Amino acid sequence: MAILVDKNTKVIVQGITGRLGSRQTSLMLQYGTKIVGGTSPGKGGTTITLEGQDLPVYDLVDEAMEEHEVDASVLYVPAPFLKEAAFEAIEAGLKFFVIITDWVPFHDAMEIKTLAMQRGARYLGPNCPGILIPKQTKLGMIAQANPGDIGIVSRSGTLTDEISLLLNEAGLGCSAVVGIGGDPIIGTRMKDILELYEKDNETKTILIIAEIGGTKEEEAAKYIQEHMTKPVIAYIVGGLAPHEKRMGHAGAIIMGGRGTVQSKQKALKQAGVKIAKVPWEIPSLIKKYGNSRVRI
């Protein structure tokens, strides 16, 4: 089974007529994602033609859900309007969505998370590349990965694609690739994805792609030590970052000595996680310590 989504997941795209939304919708359709339509306020009742498909456009999520079976949404909505769009998805009853948008205001992110928790909705992001189930579906911007039995959870969109390619070249593949987002306030934390992978029969080895800032990796280490039976490999980026200076993602900042590469490495090592020093060490560590099968 796949985690969170699969080949049968029916998707709408919020912000489907925008430049990025329409381009990424085309790429998702090319991959095989079952997109049934999208939203763009003020353009309801029109259609947008992408990859030879005429997709209906609605003003609101609940209007789309009145006409289609919808399981999830992907949000390509500018940051100033993101909170309203996320609230719309939650209040319409969606239980899973992906927020690609970055530069989301901190308090907006807090309000989105609060409402999602109250309504029992799960989401990835903000500021994330989404989720890909190889050869089945993708919601977001992850380029590609070959099918296999490695479960990736990542805080970095760029490294997600780079390391997926390294695994492909090494004859390794993934059960799922999940980008949780690089902001301080995100919907689904690293340990939440680890829990899903631990229960997933198709995932044999887990790969954490981590970065400086916050305590998500330390939380993950505690969960691994207490609950996980599957081998875990990790790579942590940001070893040369100066203290109290944001590097890339809003969440990648070291404050008061917390959130350093060293503190994360220590916690993960104590939990039995094998740490790669550089990205190209990851495939060899997986082959040596993981339970994954090399494809022939």
Catalytic center residues: 249
Assess contact for 138 and 33: CB atoms under 8 A: yes
Distance in angstroms (rounded) separating the CA atoms of residues 284 and 282: 6
Distance in angstroms (rounded) separating the CA atoms of residues 147 and 55: 29
Beta-carbon neighbour count of residue 240 at 10 Å? 8
User: What are residue 205's DSSP bridge partners?
Assistant: 150
CA-nearest of 28, 4, 36, 51 to 140 is 28
Contact residues for 151 (Cβ-Cβ < 8 A; gap 6+): 3, 174, 175, 176, 178, 193, 197, 200, 203, 205, 206, 207
Assess contact for 289 and 251: CB atoms under 8 A: no
Distance in angstroms (rounded) separating the CA atoms of residues 148 and 220: 23
Assess contact for 74 and 130: CB atoms under 8 A: yes
Q: Are strands 47-50 and 53-58 parallel, antiparallel or unpaired?
A: antiparallel
- Interior angle at CA 58, CA 29 and CA 70, nearest 5: 55
